Amino acid sequence: MTEKTPRNTWHGIPREDIKWHPTIEEDLCIGCGICYLGCGGKVFEFDTTKNKPIVVNPLKCKVGCVTCANTCPVNAISFPPLTYIHKLIKDHKLIAFARNEVKTDKNQGLA
C-alpha cells in the first residue's frame, strides 16, 4: 500500500462502501472458535454465554479473505460471491490502480 492510499480504503475505495464480511449461520455453528482464533483482522468476538462467534468489526475483514469460511468445519460462515469483488475491480478500474500501486511500491523499495 502506498503512502497516498489511506488505510481505510481498498485500492482507493472507501472500505465502508464495500459489503465484504462474514455472515455466521448460527443454526449451523458449533461454537468451535476456529474462525475467532484464525482471523488476523479481529473481525470476531466470542460470546461465551452463547458459545458462538459474533461479527463485531466487519470493516476490518480483508476484502477477498475467506479464511474463516474455509476453515469452518461445518460450513457455517458465508461471504458474498467473488463476482462481487470482480465487479468492484471492473467498475472502479482497479487493474490500472493496482499496477500503479505496485510500480510505486517497487520504486520505493517496498515490494
Determine the residue type at 105: D
Backbone φ and ψ for 54, nearest 5 degrees, come out as -130, 135
The residue with cell 470476531 is 44
111 pLDDT band, cuts 50/70/90, is low
Entry field: residues in the chain: 111
Tell me how far apart the alpha carbons of residues 56 and 19 are, in angstroms, rounded to a whole number. Answer: 14
Tell me how far apart the alpha carbons of residues 1 and 44 are, in angstroms, rounded to a whole number. Answer: 24
Q: Helix, strand, or coil here: 108?
A: coil
Average model confidence (pLDDT) across the chain: 92
| Predicted local confidence at residue 84, as pLDDT | 98
101 pLDDT band, cuts 50/70/90, is confident
pTM: 0.82
Q: What domains can be seen in the chain, in order of their start residue?
A: 9-80 (3.30.70.20)
End-to-end CA distance of the chain: 10
